[in-house]
Amino acid sequence: MFTLISSDLKEQQITLQQLLERSPYTLLYFYPKDDTPGCTLEANEFSELHEEFTQKQIQIIGVSRDSVESHCSFISKYSLKPSYITDSDLTLHKQFDARGEKNNYGKMVT
C-alpha cells in the first residue's frame, strides 16, 4: 500500500494494482528528491506535457522516498500536475529496480 498525492493535494492509500487499473497506461518515473534542480526541471516538464499524456489516457506518477509533506510542498510550490507516490520503504523502487548503487562524482552512493 502506498500514499498517492494528487495535484489537488488529496491523499489516497492505494495498491500498485489499483493504481494500474485507473488508466490503460501508466508512466511511473522515479526521481531522487523533491525540490532539487534536476528533479524540479523533470517535474515541470511532465506538468507541461500533462494534458497531452491525459488525452492519450496515460497517467503520470512520480515516485520518490520523500514524505507526504514534502510531496505536498513540492506540488504546491511548482503547481505540478502529475500525482506523486511516497515510497519511503523503497518497495516500488526495488520492484522496478530503480534504486541501487550509483556513481556520483566518483563516489559510490546508494
Phi, psi of 46 (to 5 degrees): -65, -35
CA distances from 41 to 3, 31, 63, 98, 108 (A): 23, 11, 15, 19, 24
39 is known as an active-site residue: yes
Catalytic pick among 39, 43, 63, 75:
39
Adjacent-strand bridge partners of 59 = 26
∠ CA(85), CA(89), CA(90), 5° rounding? 70
Active site residues per annotation: 39
